[in-house]
Structures are given as C-alpha cells and as structure tokens.
C-alpha cells in the first residue's frame, strides 16, 4: 500500500500536553476531588449512591480511591431524564445534546458556557494532534443536531482558528462539490460515510487522490487498521481516529496523533480512564482488554463518575504524548458482541477479513437470524464495481472460509452487487438482528 504522500506532523496545542507525570497526577487528583464534591453536593442521584456506600467526598485522598466510587450506567442517566443529573441550576446550562439509542428514553447531557469552551479547546487539541493548523479549512460531515459530532467538531475547529464548512451528513454529491470548490485540508466524518463519499466521488469522475483533503478525523463508530489502509490508499490522506461519547462530552475524549497512528491518546487531564472486567466489575491492569470506564475531571454542568461506556479496549502507554495513556482501537461494544453458536464475533473482525479479499468493498452487514432455534449469522457484502457476478460465489466461499478458520464459527456469506447494502450518512448499522421478528 502506498503511504500518504504528504508528511504531516503534529504540534502541541497547550501546556497540559507537556506536564510531567507528577504534575498530571496531582492535577487529576485535585480535579477528581472537586468533581466528587460537586456530584455529592449537587446531584441527588450521586448523593444517594455515595451515602448508600458510606463514601464521603473527603475519603478521596488518592487516585486509587476512585475504586470507592459507584459506577454510572446509561440506565442511571435514563432514570434521571431529562435534567436530573445536572449539578448546576438549569439556567446555567447553555446547551443540551441527547443520544437516542435504540431502546428506551434518550439520555440527555448538558453544558455550561465554561464546558462549551473547555470542549472546544479539547477538540482544538485533537485537530493539532491530527496535524491540522489554524487557517486550515475544515469540512464537517458529522451530523449537526442533538448528536454531538457536528457541533463538537465545529466549535473545536473554530476555536483553533480554522475556516469551518458545516456540511452535516447527507446530500453527498453537494458535499463533494463543496469539497472540490472550497478545497478543505481537513475532514471530520464517520469512516463508513467517508467510504460511501469516496464511491460517489469516483462515480462523479472526481479522483479522491487529487482532492485537497489531507487529514481525516474519523470516529463515532469502530473501524479497523484494514479500513485505515483502504482509506489512505484511495484518498492519499492521513486517517486518524477520534473517540468520544456524549455522556462524557462528545468527540474529543481521545485522539490519535498523526505521526504515530497507534490509537487515540486519552486526554487524561480532563477524563480519567480505567478498564474493568465487564463480568466481575473489577479493574484490570493496563494492557488487558476490558470495558472502558471514564470519569470526568473538569465538567461543570454534568460531572460523571466511572461511566460504563460498554466499549471494549485496552489502555496502553503513551507514545507521541508520553504521559497520556492510549486506548487500543476499539474492537466493539459489549452490545455489538454477536454470540454465534457459542463463539464471540464482533463486526470489526468481519471487516478485517472482507478488506483482505480483492474484489470486495467494506460495505457489509451482519444479519442475525434464528431459523431453527439456533442463531445463524449471514454476512452480506458488496462486490467492487466491475467484478463479474460469476465471481461472487467464489468470493463468498473465501469469506466464509476465513470466518471459520480465524474466528471459529460458520457463517453464510452473500456477495451482492453495488448498492446492495444500505448506506448511512453517520454511524453504519453493522448488525441487523432478525431473531425476534
Ligand atoms: O459518537 C461522539 C463522537 C462523534 C465521537 C464524532 C467521535 C466523532 P455517541 O453518539 O454518544 O457519541 O456514541 C458514543 O460511539 O461509546 C463508541 O461505542 C462509539 N465511538 C465513538 N468514537 C469511536 C471511535 C459519539 N473512534 C459511542 N472508535 C462510543 C470506535 C467509537 N467507536
């Protein structure tokens, strides 16, 4: 694979990126203590939980005392819908976002004016880490609205001093026209929507390798190293990973540095990460896989203690920012785990296999059904344009063979012609569960 032809390096954005480890740990402790105090004093949910556990804010004397604090789950946020988790009077909340999820009530998050500025400066740091600079044009294709992607990227890019094009998701041909005319250097977009944009560019006769975009800040859904290689090759650009979730803020909780591309660095001056074993709830050592748990350290409107993200990853030592730990690329969410005949399968494993086979595109879906009281996995994947239909069956056999040998389960594989799989303009729907139909 050809490397992107432009060599881009990061720049530090602020002092915190250079704090010594001692300074970082001291600030984290100070901030954790203030967060626990505010949660206890201002959020009835947290006061009740802490009192039930016999924990008082004064008990937090070291970062290890984090273990004393209760977990927060999505169910807790739902139970306190809409504004019950706020630690400030509602009048101090200048913005809300919400994530709908697939079941139940939305979860609502709130921001003070100070939170919005902090968030913008964190996203500005992310853009620097990805290689962006003040003066760059940034095209934002994350959705604007209750979803945090669009506005989060937007405020961050403005804060850094970029010219922002607030394109949002959808209207792909128009977006490509704007990209051709305005020549952005940076794009914010989900990896799956970007792939669909690349297909549309090619259909319109626009060569993505000749386009102005040099830096992609991709997130909001899991994606693999194989997907990075495909994007960088097709568009001659640097593809970096941004992680975040609305409950903690939105995009920007962690960002990958362009020169190392070895997983997002968690901005630990604002978010304290832990990994726990999702079955026992006990913390595991750095380097071991488990569920990411995050505690906010600087949020005013809605401090959050030990939030169970359901994302599966590992914490690794810092590299380009040595004192901030990295998270390994997310393999999936506990909710995305498919158990097929007793074998655990994540869509990212299927993505890696598909991208290793010539003639297939990364547009795929995993359909779960239960025809004879046994779960069955059908992988539907699109062939590349120009591949004759006579080749489909052979490619399907090859995918099924790799699924069996590498993951250890049987799957039915159906190769489809172009546009056979639904396209999203945001997060891709990788799993279609037909078991309860
Ligand atoms: O997706 C915020 C965001 C917007 C992040 C744009 C990055 C870019 P939610 O809608 O609350 O917020 O979804 C959060 O998305 O718990 C992960 O499961 C997943 N996710 C986000 N970023 C990544 C990533 C936004 N880089 C949920 N890799 C998280 C893998 C990601 N999964």
Chain segment 253-298, per-residue pLDDT in tens: 999 999 999 999 999 999 999 999 999 999 999 999 999 999 999 9
pLDDT greater than 90 at residue 199: yes
Position 345 scores a pLDDT of 95
Closest ligand 1 atom to the C-alpha of 330?
A: 30
Alpha carbon of 268 to ligand 1 centroid (Å): 17
Structure tokens at 98: 């919400």
> How large is the average pLDDT for residues 185-201?
97
Which band of pLDDT confidence, cut at 50, 70 and 90, is reported for residue 372? confident
Atom 30, ligand 1: residue with shortest CA distance: 222
Residues touching ligand 1 (Cβ under 6 Å) are 99, 142, 147-149, 219-222, 241-246, 250-251, 309, 311, 330, 333
pLDDT greater than 80 at residue 3: no
Residue among 151, 125, 127, 129 at smallest CA distance from 140 = 151
Alpha carbon of 6 to ligand 1 centroid (Å): 27
Q: Which run of H or of E encompasses 217?
A: strand 215-219
Which band of pLDDT confidence, cut at 50, 70 and 90, is reported for residue 374? confident
Closest ligand 1 atom to the C-alpha of 250?
A: 2
| Contact (Cβ atoms closer than 8 angstroms) between residue 231 and residue 223 | no
Structure tokens at 207: 């060569």
Alpha carbon of 275 to ligand 1 centroid (Å): 17
> How large is the average pLDDT for residues 210-233?
97
Atom 13, ligand 1: residue with shortest CA distance: 245
Q: Which of 102, 220, 254, 267 to mutate to test the pocket of ligand 1 (most atoms within 8 A of CB)?
A: 220
Structure tokens at 394: 């052979």
């Amino acid at each position: 694979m050809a490397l992107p032809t432009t060599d881009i390096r990061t720049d530090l954005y602020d002092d915190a990126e250079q704090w010594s480890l001692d300074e970082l740990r001291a600030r984290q402790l100070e901030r954790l203590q203030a967060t626990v105090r505010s949660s206890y004093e201002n959020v009835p949910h947290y006061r009740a939980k802490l009192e039930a556990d016999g924990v008082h804010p004064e008990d937090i004397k070291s970062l290890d005392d984090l273990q004393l604090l209760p977990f927060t789950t999505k169910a807790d946020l739902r139970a306190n819908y809409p504004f019950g988790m706020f630690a400030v009077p509602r009048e101090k909340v200048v913005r809300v976002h919400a994530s709908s999820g697939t079941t139940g009530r939305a979860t609502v998050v709130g921001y003070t004016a100070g939170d919005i500025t902090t968030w913008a400066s964190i996203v500005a740091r992310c853009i620097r880490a990805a290689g962006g600079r003040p003066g760059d044009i940034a095209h934002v294709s994350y959705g604007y609205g209750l979803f945090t992607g669009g506005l989060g990227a937007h405020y961050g890019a403005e804060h850094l001093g970029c010219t922002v094009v607030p394109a949002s998701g959808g209207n792909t041909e128009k977006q490509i026209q704007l990209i051709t005319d305005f020549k952005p250097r940076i794009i914010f977009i989900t990896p799956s929507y970007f792939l669909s944009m690349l297909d549309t560019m090619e259909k319109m006769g626009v060569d993505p390798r000749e386009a102005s975009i040099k830096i992609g800040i991709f997130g909001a859904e899991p994606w693999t190293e194989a997907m990075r290689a495909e994007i960088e090759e097709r568009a001659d650009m640097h593809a970096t990973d941004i992680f975040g979730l609305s409950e903690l803020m939105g995009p920007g909780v962690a960002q990958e540095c362009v020169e190392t591309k070895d997983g997002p660095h968690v901005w630990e001056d604002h978010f304290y990460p832990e990994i726990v074993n999702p079955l026992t709830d006990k913390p595991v050592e750095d380097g071991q896989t488990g569920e990411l748990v995050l505690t906010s350290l600087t949020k005013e409107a809605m401090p959050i203690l030990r939030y169970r993200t359901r994302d599966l990853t590992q914490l690794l030592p810092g590299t380009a920012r040595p004192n901030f730990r990295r998270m390994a690329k997310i393999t999936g969410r506990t909710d995305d785990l498919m158990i097929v005949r007793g074998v655990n399968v994540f869509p990212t494993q299927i993505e890696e296999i598909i991208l290793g086979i010539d003639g297939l595109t990364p547009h795929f879906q995993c359909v779960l059904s239960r025809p004879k009281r046994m779960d069955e996995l059908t992988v539907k994947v699109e062939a590349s344009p120009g591949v004759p239909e006579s080749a489909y069956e052979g490619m399907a056999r090859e995918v099924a063979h790799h699924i069996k040998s590498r993951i250890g389960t049987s799957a039915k594989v159906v190769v489809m012609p172009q546009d056979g799989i639904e396209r999203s303009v945001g997060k891709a729907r990788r799993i279609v569960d037909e078991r309860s139909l």
